[in-house]
Structure 1
């Protein structure tokens, strides 16, 4: 169990490509520190309510960007999703799905977040479709009926917006961002993509100032 005053806050969005890029590095950090600190996800909301399709200029931009992310991070990214020209690039539905899992079983929130990323970036699953999340629920032994009921509930839509607002109130404007909360103080551990070794070093150095 982590120290109650030590909280590592991950602000991200499942459709943020650099958030997928940092996924393995973040998992290594969690494995190294989860017995010493609490980890929390704050959903940033990259493009909530977006109406632009993935075709045209958006598709060309994403193709170049995804190639860069994959090259620098080593994370696999299929460009198959870019062939679905009618896909609307709205990040609210996947953020809401993760918020639902937090309400159902918070212990599986990080696993669900990563599974949504994998579904989108590797398996070309449509994150605007409920069935994408129900498949993941089956994989993670989450009750699909409870998930669907909450996913469609207005209360969870509002709760997702609360996360977006919290990210803004923390001064976060880009994803991923990793913060260390020590009591009432917040320290930035990483803005954008970072390696485990660098985040781990920053975390140790910051904590050493308070030991």
Structure 2
């Protein structure tokens, strides 16, 4: 049995789910977690932020519900409106960080979202991954090289296919996967207690 977390680094609700995911990982330290990029802003959806007139209202709602913080750097991007969220580039970044430290995929995915939603850093910029790698004690040159490599593109596309194969249509989605059995645990928002309530029938309880 493992958990599969399907998110998008440019998804505000995924950012809002960070606290729940962090708590679940803390409660279940022996439970493996796969982190998969879903691909929210790809193709024709890669447009300036000003196109999405609901961002401020949605973020306010997410913040009230989850306690997630949207920092000044990010708020400047929203106000300027020209920034383009490219989920394909972000997925390449997730793949590069995951490759550098497979056992820290959750931690690094959450740090990546914080880089955007708090500091307003572009997830298309190699400098963002250099900074994240340095902060995490990883080889920054290796992470940047992986981000810019063809292999990262292949990994990003594989993530998108896997998300689709799992039937995920909204982000974030947390699943329990045991072979061919897939049990939804959360879509969009859930507390750690709610997730644990759904894990209990599967024989998974928090570590004492």
> 1:1-211 alignment to 2 at 5 Å?
6-35=1-30, 37-49=31-43, 50-55=45-50, 57-58=51-52, 60-78=53-71, 79-207=75-203
**What SS does the aligned partner of 1:25 have?**
helix
Is the Cα–Cα contact under 8 Å of residues 81 and 125 in structure 1 kept in the other structure? no
SS in 2 for 1:178: strand
SS at match of 1:188: strand
Gaps of at least 5 residues in structure 1 are 1-5
Q: Which runs of 5+ in 2 are unaligned?
A: none
* Mapped contact 2:33–2:106 kept (Cα < 8 A): no
Matched length: 200
List per-residue Cα deviations over 1:109-149 (Å, max 9, x = no partner).
Answer: 21211111111111111222111121111100111111121
97-106 or 192-201, larger mean C-alpha shift: 97-106
Secondary structure class of the residue paired with 2:176: strand
1:153 CA displacement:
1.0
Q: TM-score, normalised by structure 1?
A: 0.89
* Equivalent-residue separation in structure 2 for 1:84 and 1:108 (angstroms): 34
Matched position secondary structure for 1:189:
strand
Name the CA distance, whole Å, in 2 between partners of 1:99 and 1:73. 26
Q: Distance in 2 between matches of 1:11 and 1:100?
A: 16
CA contact (8 A) 1:81 1:124 kept: yes
Q: Distance in 2 between matches of 1:29 and 1:85?
A: 35
State the SS of the aligned residue for 2:203: helix
TM-score, structure 2 as length reference: 0.91
1:63-99 per-residue CA deviation (whole Å, 9 max, x = no partner) reads: 1111111111111113222133321121111221111
